[in-house]
A = this chain, B = another copy of it.
Amino acid sequence: MANANELIDDIGFHLERLGLSRTSGRVIGALMLASDATADAPTLTEQLGVAKSSLSAAVALLERYGLVQRMPGASRRERYRLTEGLFESVFFSKQGELGAFADLAERVLDQGDLAPEAQARVERMRDFYRFLLAEYPRLLERWEESRRS
């Protein structure tokens, strides 16, 4: 049985693929393993062995991405909570990227006078991303449904 730190590092390492820094990923890992999905800053710096400045930057990033929230509280000591449905929101936030690619294709079609073959290629690219964009909500519905059962 691995200790918590190894698991946290494992999670953090994998989360780098999503464009997070190592430290941000490890913060997510620590929160994942915490029973109530929360922790405060001093505990995290201690547990992860990072400077508080690094933690501050990491949490700021996670907050911008909507993956972690600051918990309102009376105390000066801040508490952070993992966003509910974290991985779902990470996945479905890629819709923006899909839209960007569809727009890119559209822009190329608008601005360029392409050879017919090239035009067909770009149209197919556009159609594919439009297709995905249309399918994502359906995917989400299906997931919600499968969770209920």
Contacts and interface: CB of A to CB of B under 8 A. Distances in A.
A135 to B, nearest CB: 6
Given A37-B117, A118-B35, A146-B131, A7 B87 contact: no
Interface residues of A, number: 49
A10 interface: yes
B2 A37 contact: no
A91 B7 contact: no
Contacts of A33: 108, 112, 114, 118
Given A87-B129, A100-B14, A129-B87, A111 B1 contact: yes
Q: Would you list the 3 A-B pairs with minimal beta carbon distance, nearest first? A: A35-B115, A2-B111, A35-B117
